[in-house]
Chain A
Amino acid sequence: MPERAKVSTAWAAEAAGGPGPAQDGGAGAVACASEFEPVIGLEVHVELSTKSKLFCGCQAAFNAPPNSHTCPVCLGLPGVLPVLNRKAVEFGIKTALALNCEVASFSKFDRKNYFYPDLPKNYQISQYDLPLGTNGYVDVSVDGGMRRVRIKRVHLEEDAGKSVHESGTITGSSFSLEDYNRTGVPLLEIVSEPDLRSPEEAYAYLSMLRSILRYLDVSDCKMEEGSLRCDANISVKPKGSSALGTPIELKNLNSFRAVEKALAYEFRRQAEILARGERVTRETRHWDESRQVTVLMRRKEEADDYRYFPEPDLVPLEIDEAWVAEVRSTLPELPGVRHERFIREYGLPAYDAAILTESKDLADYFEAAVAAYGGDAKAVSNWVMGELARLMNATGTDIRDVRVAPTALAAMLKMIDDGTISGKIAKTVFEEMFATGKEPRQVVAEKGLVQIADEGELARIVDEVIAENRDVADEVRAGKDRAITFLVGQVMKKTRGRANPQAVNRLLRERLSSG
């Protein structure tokens, strides 16, 4: 195959350059990647943050001692009856509404039958033909615009237990150990239509979904703790073609990055198969994080046969308009809407608005600081995204635990505006506020950081610096204007940053031009 035009998207190039399956080298892969495009859909599971499990009163806790949160219901012992958790249903309705779904007026639960040791009943209570929500969508901002990702369905089900494999891997182990604490924890399954057209779009969609779920406060969405899990379906077709390829299901995607990388790898693998004129076989593949490849898990020769049937132990749900309205009234302003409002109301660049609204807590912090400050919102944004974010990252601090109150940040910005402190000194002040939780006035007083307001005092220091640096002063007099920055620097050093740089500049120029 002749080498075609270069691929335009960075991820395809990265995928082609990565440790991919190419035997024929990278160049051919790049060429074939540009002729095909991936079609991606994601299936996301989130654990709902209820106190108790979906069908029993056992605590839904993470990291408890093994098998310390079980009972006859979640262990699947004979003769027990599950009773549905109202809060879990409401979290499900809330999510369905936030994802623009139609909420079912009549819904029910079904048994999904299969054998697996993490499922002690040998069936999972799930929802089959009447899920809580259907036909929704999420608008995701992607490279060069918005993409509307349709949501096929949102349904409630119970989580399975956790298996620990003797040798670390499932295939190499002669036995496994089961912990049923997680069994019966409420899960919400959110299935997208195959509307995503690149691994990056999949990443952006996942980020938006997580942001929405966190705004709703229905799940903490921690992928590392398994409270958010993602499987992906990806098929590859010739660019511009409407015929879909054979979908491959990807599992073991343990981070947002893993989702993106596994999809990039898989796109390239399938594109190469198609470029050779061969066919992709339908199968489930496992992302091997250490080798950065997907490996065959099982072939899907026939459709799974779960023999779904209505769960006789649970009566159906009727969700009337009053109930939906009641849940709707608890919806917060969602990230997409807030993003638009931040641009409109505060005049922020789209970039700032996106970062600030990704987390509800950060957005709340920003708005509280802007309200207390009353000045330029962009200045607040700069401090929140700059110094605050830097210190939070450096110390691993969550926005909820930040000791600088939004009002304290506002007070500090006012001190910059009225000339009490310089913008440079403010960074020192802010660091101290961040570390101690003290008010800016207190920090400035304790550390003697008030800007020198007395022009006479400043002039005296400027004269000292000129006297100590006669050579440089002469250079400035001789017209080498850039040398003045050295002298400004010396004054700032002598005053430990407490001088106003503009004033210093002016005083220096007055002296050095008059000779």
Chain B
Amino acid sequence: MKITIADVDHVAMLARLRFDEDQKAGMAEQLSRIVEYVEKLNELDTGDVSPMAHAVPLRNVLRDDEVRPSLDPEEALRNAPDREGDFFRVPRILESE
């Protein structure tokens, strides 16, 4: 399967990434190679194989509903690029209409 520039644009938009035209061409090329590699699987008949939900053969790893200590707000905010009081401060979410 060939990945097009339009595909790259779409994925870049979803990932909030910006590329110039040269980079896009390179991305399309590389992504195509990756997808083609995975396409090797199409050579196998997987009609009888149910989709795998997890690579680890474990089930039902659960914990009891018990409260454990949280971080101090000061600690929680230590990596925040910006803060106001004990809130994380973030840039404008939506452009005004």
Chain A interfacial positions (CB closer than 8 Å to B): 50-52, 56-59, 65-72, 75, 77, 83-89, 106, 108, 113, 115-117, 130, 163-165, 170-180, 305, 307, 310, 312, 314-318
Contacts and interface: CB of A to CB of B under 8 A. Distances in A.
A69 B77 CA distance: 12
A94 to B, nearest CB: 14
B87 A84 contact: no
A176 B92 CA distance: 6
A66 B88 CA distance: 9
B87 A86 contact: no
Interface of B: 10, 14, 16, 53-56, 58-71, 73, 76-77, 79, 84-97
B73 A67 contact: yes
Main secondary structure of the interface of B (DSSP, over half): loop
B68 A52 contact: yes
Given A66-B85, A117-B93, A86 B76 contact: no
B94 to A, nearest CB: 5
A177 B89 contact: yes
B62 A84 contact: yes
B70 A86 contact: no
B76 A88 contact: no
Nearest to A310: B53
B92 A70 contact: no
B57 to A, nearest CB: 9
Contacts of B86: 65-68
A89 B62 contact: yes
Query: Which residue, of B67, B73, B85, B91, has the highest number of chain A Cβ atoms within 10 A?
Result: B67
Nearest to B97: A171
B61 A84 contact: yes
A132 to B, nearest CB: 13
B96 A108 contact: no
B9 to A, nearest CB: 13
Given A66-B85, A108-B54, A317 B90 contact: no
Given A85-B62, A163-B93, A312 B55 contact: yes
Contacts of B96: 171-172
Given A164-B87, A177-B84, A305-B14, A315 B60 contact: yes
Contacts of A106: 53
A130 to B, nearest CB: 8
Contacts of B16: 115
B14 A177 contact: no
Contact of B65 (A85, A316, A317): A85
Nearest to B79: A77
B52 to A, nearest CB: 8
Given A68-B86, A174-B92, A315-B54, A51 B67 contact: yes
A83 B63 contact: yes
B87 A52 contact: no
Contacts of B69: 57
Given A52-B65, A52-B67, A117-B93, 13 more contacts: A70-B73, A71-B71, A71-B76, A83-B63, A84-B61, A85-B62, A106-B53, A116-B93, A163-B93, A174-B91, A177-B88, A178-B89, A180-B88
Nearest to B65: A87
Given A59-B67, A174-B92, A315 B97 contact: no
Nearest to A169: B96
A178 B81 CA distance: 12
A170 B90 CA distance: 12
A182 B62 CA distance: 21
Which of A108, A165, A177: most chain B CB closer than 10 A?
Answer: A177
Contacts of B89: 175-178
A307 B15 CA distance: 11
